Each structure stands twice: as structure tokens, then as C-alpha cells.
Structure 1
Amino acid sequence: MSYSNPAKNDLKNPTQQEAFEEGHDADIPTDIGAYKHPVSTLSHTDLEKGTPPTTSSSTMEPQTQDPVDPDIVDWDGPDDPANPQNWTERKKWSNIGILAIVTLITPLGSSFFAPGVPELMNSFHESSNTLTAFVVSVYILGFAIGPLVIAPMSEMYGRFWIYTICNLLFIVFNVACAVSTNLNMLIVFRFFAGCSGASPLTIGGGTVADMFPPEKRAGAMALWGIGPLLGPVVGPVCGGFLVEAKGWRWVFWIICIFGGFFSILLFVFSDETYHPTLLERKAARLRKETGNPNLRSKLALNIPPREIFKRSLIRPMKMLFFSPIVLLMSIYISINYGILYLLFTTITFVFQVQYRFSAGTVGLSYLGSGIGMMAGMVILGITSDKIIQAQLKKGPVKPEHRLPFILTVPGGVGLPIGLFIYGWCTYYKVHWIVPIIGTVFVGFGNLSSMMTIQTYLVDAFTLHAASAMAANTVLRSLFGAVLPLGGLDMYKVLGLGWGNSLLAFLSLALIPVPILFRVYGERIRTNPRFQVKL
């Protein structure tokens, strides 16, 4: 007797059924190419019976196509204007433009507040170094927890209402931060602001994919992706002068004002883009108009909500703990990311104490890491494309080609070099421009390692790329929230020189990780011993 999965039987079309059985999201194509699941090429019915799949060559009888189910609701042809892929360019780019600004504001909130922390601690009469760091980094902890709820909710209810509700909660929690009467209250609301603010980061890439085919997606992804890059850097630059002029509470009021304005624009001028939700609405309208209760969306994925949440929670964790590639790469990225946020939470104190920067000018000390990140993005974009194009002329491109030594080694070495420069120059009070130049190397090294490894994970785990990225994001955000907690205490014990040198040695020790997978990655990911059953 064959076992029948009830969740699988609820899937109404082969694409959705195959997606569920292969273990990836339904909107990821199953015919992905070189990394297609080998079982997906077989008949599911034949597999359950334990007999070889039937092919056209196994019989001389003419093959007939299955009749089209009249109760299936699909797009009205390839040019259906209701399909977001067929929207006008103006409509597509207006949606992406507003979303990009919202995606800039929520990461900006992670560090916008940093220059105001000394004033905040004085106003609440707090002196704990741990709380001083945690009030900034707890926002990143929200970025780790929020996506675990936001992602499955978007599968059930679409993207538009998740954006709307999360944006509203983001504003409410920032208002609560602005009127907080004690530090504990502020920390709690900062955490929930981070959870709700994670929505554009979690599902923004899916919105881009909804509207643009792969060959036209790069520009939109670049526009959407610039927010998480610039936000944490622009925030302190603006926040420093704002705190000096108006006080730390106005940081949250400004976030509320701008966040509220662009959230309203997103609500008024954007539309739902998630294809399953749009087709389900169409099916519901046709059921009402025709009186036919059997009409159903072609993309209906009738998996119980419990199964959706289970998939979103368990799969990334299984990949994190049982896949050596995901585990080691995530640890490498997470430690570098934690080091970056340790600098974000301590730069204010370092430059105010060592160089007597004012609350306004101290925000300018964050520009170095931002310049490094932008330089890394430009160099990576130009170089990586040329490397892939050159490889295409030689033969097929493998995921390991995303980890060329020309990018991974300079990026890996750049971060510890920057830490050595920053640490010892601030310790000896060398002119302030020199340690800021050191943070340029930190920003470049952090960005280059993060981008190359994320691209590698997507290519190496094509069908399960979403789960691999989720595992990476959760661990990275946890390190970004926790590692900075010991920053000020570490500097107090070891000093700025040896404290940053310790971080540099830790980063140096991890450089072999991407080199290891550049050389042995294919052998590891194709070894049955390291295959993760999802």
C-alpha cells in the first residue's frame, strides 16, 4: 500500500504538487535547469506504484493530452494585463520606487539612533555598557525573528496587506519608542519595530520577481537592494546632527514622519503583485458571478497554515545545522556582520572620547564604512559579471565560480586590515581621518564577502535557495544583535588596539572558509553524505 501525503493531495496542479514534494516554494520554477531535482523528471504516480515511469517510447499507442480542467482559473493568455509581468513600465517602476524608499527607511532605523545613545543613557541615568549596546542592536534581533512570521503570512495573504500592516506597526512601535519613559520600555519597542520593519527586506525581492522576468530583473533588484546597503550608514550621519539639535526622541519622530508618509504612498499607489493571491481573487470573483463553487486558482496551494509555518521554520534550521556549506558560510558571514554592527554601536563613543567629536559631527565617522560598501558593490558588480561571462565561453558555470579568489581573498583580507588600522590608530589618537579610512576597508570586506557568499548559496541550493538564505539571515541577524553587546566592555579591558586586533584575528581565521568551498564545494554539495532531507 502506498502512502499518500494529505497535504500533497490538496495541491490542485502539477506545478504546485511538484514544488511541495521537492521542498521549495511554489513560485520557484521546477524546471530550473542544471540543479533540477532528479525525482522531478519522473511520474509521481509511477513512483508510488514502484514501477518505472511510462514514456512515449514505451508504447506504440498514440499519446493523448489531458483535457483542460474547466474549473481551473488562470491568466487570460500570456498578455493578460492583470498579470503583474504585463503591467506598464511606469506602473512597475513606480511600485519598485516607493518600495525601495520604504526598504531604505527600515534599515536606516537600525543605526539612525546610534549617535543619540550617550544622551539617552544620561537621561535615563543608566551606565551599563551592555544595555548601551543592546538598545541599538536589539533592532537587528527583530530582523532575525520578524521574517519567520512575515514570510509564511505573505504566502497566505499576499504581499500588499503584509506591507501595509507591518508598516503601520512599524510606525506605532517607533511612536512608542519616542515616548518611552524608561530604558526597558524603549528596548522592547525597538525590538518590535525591528520585527515589523523586516517586511520590505523579507518579501521585497519577491515583489521584484513578481513583476520582472529574470532577464530584466537586475536593475529593479539593484534599486530595491540599495536601501539595506545605505540605510545603516546614512542613518548615523543624519542622526548625529538631529540629536545635537533636537534630542534623541526626535530620531524616532523623524522615522515615524518619513515612514508614515512613504507607507501611505505605498498603500495608495502600489498594488498586489503576488500571483497566487491575484488568481485566487479572480477565482473568487468568478465563483460569485457564475455561481460555480468548483472554480479554483491554478496556483492554489492548499497547504494548511500550520504546514506553511512548519516549512518556514524547520527547513532553514535543518539546512543550517546539517549542511556544512550553509553552516560554515553562515558563520563566516555572521561573524563579519556582527563585527560591523559592533563598530556601529561603538563608533559614537570612540570618536567622542578619543577625538572629542560633538554629537552632530560624530555621525560623519560612519561615512568610511559606507564608502567601502559602495566601492565593494561597484567592483563586485563589474568584476563578477566579467568572470562569469569569461567562464561561459569556456564551459558551463558552476556555483563555485561565484567564489573567485580575485574577490574572496581581497575581501576577506580587507576586513581584518581595516580593523587593525582602525583599532591602533584610534588607540594612539592618530588623525581621525586615518581610522575612518580603516573603516573603508571594513565596509569593503564585509560587503564583498556577504554578496559573493549569498550569490553562491543561491546558485548552490537553487531549489532550496529561500531556505538557505533564511538560515543565513537568521544567524547573521542574531550575531548582529548579540556580538555588539560585549564591544564597550571588550575595549575597556583590552583597549581599542588589542580589542579590534582580537576581532581582526577572528576574521582572519575565517578567510579559508570561502577558499575551501571554491576548491571543494562541488565535491561537498554532491556528496550524498551531506545531502539534507527536507
Structure 2
Amino acid sequence: MKIQDWQEKELEVGIASAHDSLEATEAGHQSDPQMTERSTNAGPPPSGTDADLCQSKSQGNFMTKLERAVSTLSSSRKTEKRLERAKHPEMNLAENVVGWEGQADPTMPLNFATRRKWLLLILTSSTTLMVALTSAMIAPGVTYISQEFGNSSNVLDTIIVTIFLLGFAVGPIVLSPLSEIYGRKLILTCGNVFFLLWQIGCALAPNIASLIVFRFLAGVGGSASLTIGGGLISDLFYIDERGTASSMYAIGPLFGPVLGPICGGFIAERLGWRWVFWVLLIFSAILLLTLEIFSKETNHRVIMRWKVEKLRKELCNDNLRSCYDDPGAALRTPSETLAISLIRPLKMLFFSPILFILATYMAFIYGLQYLLSTTIPLVFQTTYHWKPELTGLAYIGLGLGFFGGIMAVARINDATVVRLTKANHGVPEPEMRLPACVLFACFIPVSFFWYGWSTFYETHWVVPIIGLIPFGLGQIGVFIPIQTYVIDSFPEFAASGMAALTIMRSLLGAVLPLAGTKMYDSLGLGWGNSLLGFVAMSLIPFPILIFKFGGAVRKKYPLEL
């Protein structure tokens, strides 16, 4: 891929340093080892310390002082709890190796200022929030869609909502590997634009068939942010920071299906169901523009490849190679690289026993969430006689559970890894993310027994809403550790790992609600939800087994990616 003009600005610092390094090499000088080798205990300077804060132009401003205090406190806490930092591969032009300009190279994404890292993560999480809103925001308006198009099938009503998730299963197969070749920023932009275009199609759909097709295509484009987010976390954050980062990122994809029906119910009732898509289009376009202004490429390998290509031209040396390339490996053609990248998510899913088990477990819980999302409107409109615009408020229970789960997991996820790593003689293992799963997984069955029998006996409407809180708490406590486990296991191909998770969970998320309709018709709300609760209970031992034996299995069956 040729270097574009907008890429060159990101390389100016590295190129200037490369010229200095070349001159030193030609003069026969050696770098001072004390300057090139830093203590692993010290690691790269924490972002947000006085070195960063002194760049502020308004020292007397109250907000600047507040940021200084918060950043300094954050840095001191991280210094106490963090692990040793792995060294970045450095420049060695004497051996034709292009790398980073020392451990503090500002172009290295791991060295970005804390504020820049969190800005990039928050913008990406906001994008996933809009995509997740789209997945469920139309649910309360399905009644109006069926009335307009003369549909009387409950199954077809469910497909209108869940077909979007089928797009989530297809898109990552292509988009995630491409982000590891051409960069996160380019693929995320293309996916978001594709997503926006099909929102227009949904708003103008002339019949149910076209609406279903357009929803599927919108899901394909929207899947970019869901899968690239894992790669972004791997690019920007060290291992003892990824739990907190994953918790922040999870706000978007998990809160979207909760907030969507709340907003969608009022919009569909007051403005019509088509305005659900127009509102999504407007806010998504604003977010996309903001993302384009502030986003920056973070893929280490892609940045280094751009740097190699530019230095080859600047220094007239075609023998230069990236520090991430294996010098003994044969060079691949672009078509070979693309083919290998495209099959990588499926290879990770089906050839890694641990990843397959965790993806299946995660997918089942995700399917349960969408099963609840598609049945809640029916239950509260028929059993409790709520208007469609108020039905979305029933999702507040899930939202409260999600919020509590994020607060809890953000506090214990990284802390658990640090504690277990120190007990393991300083060697971190991906399985150290999983102990929290066991505790939180126990909350999930509680919701199904509580919610199912309270709706069966038609108790006060607040009782089933409260019964949804444990599910939200448990889902967060399972999802975030598993996602972080995948990022830690495959840091260089985290986007493909997240794609594997997204493919599996989106398939079940699209299919399980279809089976749920007939199950509830046969068993009723009480025993139907109890059946799901018993299945959820039977799956609780899986995280325990993987925590205990997963490391041995992972090392015995390594993946060649």
C-alpha cells in the first residue's frame, strides 16, 4: 500500500531521528548503552506526568490544575501497581533494521500521552455505542413496522431486529484482518461510512424484505468498530492497563442494546419508526466527523511499515526491513499476505480449543441478552399493558447491572493480574484474567429464575426489572475478562482475536432469539426462562477449567498466525 500524504505527518519525528542515527553509524560511533537501554522497572515515562503537563498553555486555568492533580494521582497509582514494561524493538540501521527511536519514542502508540490514549479509546467506544444502539433501537418500533407493511409473523418481527447481528458475524471476517494490514484508522473509517450509507436505506425501505437486507448490510459496516477496538487496546495499553481500558471500551457495545430501546420507543411513538434511522444517521455522522479529526493510526506494524517505505526512499536503501519482520522468513506477496490475514480469525476460532470454548460461552450469554431484548417489549406490552414508548424503560434493570459490573471489573481485573503475576515470579499469563469470570457467571442464572417466574405470576412490574440487574452484572463480569484474555494471548493480532469472538457471539445473538419465541410459546415465561437458567448454571465450570488447565493446553497447541 502506498504511503498517503496524511500518513507522512505521523512519521516526521521518526524520520528525523533515523537520519541522525544513520549519521552516527557512518561515523563509526556507538550509542551510549545507558541511553539506549532503560531499566525494565522504570519502563517508559508515565503519560500525564509533569513532562506532559508543562505543555499546557494556561497554567493558571482551573481545569488545567485539576487535570494536573488527576493525572499525577493516576500516574503514582499506576507506578505502584504496574508490571515491568517489555522493551520496544529499536532502530539499528547498521543491520538495516528500522525500529523505534528508543524506549521513549513519541511515535510509539504505547508512549502516547494518557489523554490521547483515552481520547482515542473513548471515541472508538462511542462509535460502538452508536452501532449497538442501532442493533436494538428499532425493537420497540417493530410493531409499527408490521402495521405499515401488513406483517403478522412474530418470527419476522424478531428477524428485523436480529438480522443486524448477522452482519456482525460476516463483517469481522474481512474488516479485522484488513485493519492489521492497512491500519486501524482507514478500515474503521471505511466501515463507518458503509454503516452510515445503509442507515439511509433503512429509513427509506419500501418493504420488510428490503429493510432486512439493509439492516444486514449496516451491520457489516458497523462491525468494524466492534472488532478493531480490541486491536486498539492492544496498541495503546500495557498488559496491566488493559483491564481498565477494556471496561471503558465495553460501555459502548453493552450499553447500546439497553439505551437503544429506551430512545427508540419514544422516537417511534412520536415521530414514526423511520425517524429512528434518521436520528441514528445524524448522530453517527457527527461522531464519524469527530473521529476523523482526532483519530490517529495505532497499529505498530503498520506504522513501522510506513516508516520503512519512507526511509527506503529517503536513504536509497532497499534492504531496510521492519523490526517486526522475521529476517529468516520468505517475503510474501501482497496477495499472500491478504489471504493469510483473511483466514486468521477463523483459524484462531476453530484451531484454538481454548478460544473456541470461551467464544462459545460468551456467545451463549450474548444470545441470552438479545433473547431478553426481543422478548421484553412483548412481555411488558402484553402482560403489563405498557405503551411502546414506555417499554424501553424496562431495560433500565440491565443498564444498572452493566454499570455495577463495569465499576467492579475495572477495579479488580488488572489488580488480579498484577497480584498473580508477582506470585508467578513476574511472569504474566493470559489465564490470570479468568478468575473473575467464575464469580460473575453465578449471577446470570439468578436473573432468569427471578425474571421468568415474576413475569409468569404477573407480579408488580418493578420486580422483573430488578431481576434483570444480576444478568447485566454477570454479563459484564464474563465479557471483559474474556476479551482481555484474547488481547493478552494474541497482542499482535488482537483485532483478529476479537473478530473470532464477534463472529461466534453474533451468530448466536441472531439465531437464539428465533428459537426463543417457540420455546416461550411451549414452556411459558416461567419454565422457559428457568430452562435458560439451568443451561447457564451448567456452563459456570468452564472458566474454572480454563483457568486451571488453559495455559497448558494453549502452550501444547500453539497457533501459527
Letter in 1 for 2:482: I
The 5 Å alignment of 1:401-420 reads 401-404=432-435, 407-420=436-449
Task: Choose which of 506, 510, 513 in structure 2 pairs with 1:477.
Answer: 506
The change in CA–CA distance for 1:463 and 1:283 in structure 2 (over 3 A counts) is closer
The change in CA–CA distance for 1:465 and 1:176 in structure 2 (over 3 A counts) is closer
For 1:351, the equivalent position in structure 2 comes to 380
Q: Which runs of 5+ in 1 are unaligned?
A: 1-32, 34-65
Task: Choose which of 276, 283, 287 in structure 2 pairs with 1:251.
Answer: 276
Which segment drifts farther, 315-324 or 264-273? 315-324
Post-superposition shift, 1:185?
A: 0.6
For 2:535, the equivalent position in structure 1 comes to 506
For 2:131, the equivalent position in structure 1 comes to 106
The change in CA–CA distance for 1:332 and 1:299 in structure 2 (over 3 A counts) is closer
The change in CA–CA distance for 1:312 and 1:127 in structure 2 (over 3 A counts) is farther
Letter in 1 for 2:433: R
Partner Cα distance (1:145, 1:273) in 2: 24
Spell out, residue by residue over 1:352-399, the C-alpha distance to the aligned partner (whole angstroms, 9 max, x if none): 111111111110111111211221222233344454454455444655
For 1:165, the equivalent position in structure 2 comes to 190
Which segment drifts farther, 121-130 or 276-285? 276-285
CA contact (8 A) 2:267 2:275 kept: yes
For 2:19, the equivalent position in structure 1 comes to none
Post-superposition shift, 1:67?
A: 8.1
Letter in 2 for 1:336: I
SS at match of 1:198: helix
Partner Cα distance (2:95, 2:424) in 1: 45
For 1:449, the equivalent position in structure 2 comes to 478
Partner Cα distance (2:417, 2:314) in 1: 52
The 5 Å alignment of 1:92-131 reads 92-131=117-156
Spell out, residue by residue over 1:438-483, the C-alpha distance to the aligned partner (whole angstroms, 9 max, x if none): 1111222222222333444555667876655443321111101111
For 1:180, the equivalent position in structure 2 comes to 205
Post-superposition shift, 1:336?
A: 1.6
For 1:367, the equivalent position in structure 2 comes to 396
CA contact (8 A) 1:418 1:442 kept: yes
CA contact (8 A) 2:167 2:216 kept: yes
For 1:379, the equivalent position in structure 2 comes to 408
Partner Cα distance (1:123, 1:160) in 2: 40
Task: Choose which of 116, 138, 159 in structure 1 pairs with 2:163.
Answer: 138
Letter in 1 for 2:280: I
Partner Cα distance (1:285, 1:499) in 2: 61
Partner Cα distance (1:248, 1:508) in 2: 38
Give the TM-score taking structure 2 as reference length: 0.74
Spell out, residue by residue over 1:482-526, the C-alpha distance to the aligned partner (whole angstroms, 9 max, x if none): 111122232222221122122122222222322333444445445
The change in CA–CA distance for 1:468 and 1:381 in structure 2 (over 3 A counts) is same
Post-superposition shift, 1:211?
A: 4.2
For 1:430, the equivalent position in structure 2 comes to 459
Post-superposition shift, 1:206?
A: 2.5
SS at match of 2:442: helix
For 1:203, the equivalent position in structure 2 comes to 228
Give the TM-score taking structure 1 as reference length: 0.78
Letter in 1 for 2:473: F
For 1:29, the equivalent position in structure 2 comes to none
For 2:516, the equivalent position in structure 1 comes to 487
CA contact (8 A) 2:158 2:374 kept: yes
For 2:294, the equivalent position in structure 1 comes to 269
For 1:497, the equivalent position in structure 2 comes to 526
For 1:14, the equivalent position in structure 2 comes to none
CA contact (8 A) 1:320 1:327 kept: yes
Partner Cα distance (2:548, 2:110) in 1: 39
Letter in 2 for 1:230: F
The change in CA–CA distance for 1:501 and 1:313 in structure 2 (over 3 A counts) is farther
The change in CA–CA distance for 1:266 and 1:484 in structure 2 (over 3 A counts) is same
Partner Cα distance (1:141, 1:195) in 2: 8
For 1:8, the equivalent position in structure 2 comes to none
Partner Cα distance (2:238, 2:413) in 1: 21
Q: Which runs of 5+ in 2 are unaligned?
A: 1-39, 41-90
Partner Cα distance (2:488, 2:307) in 1: 34
Which segment drifts farther, 142-151 or 505-514? 505-514
SS at match of 1:360: helix
Partner Cα distance (2:553, 2:242) in 1: 31
Partner Cα distance (1:352, 1:506) in 2: 27
Partner Cα distance (1:114, 1:457) in 2: 31
The change in CA–CA distance for 1:197 and 1:466 in structure 2 (over 3 A counts) is closer
CA contact (8 A) 1:240 1:363 kept: yes
Q: CA RMSD in A?
A: 3.1
Aligned length: 466
CA contact (8 A) 1:140 1:478 kept: yes
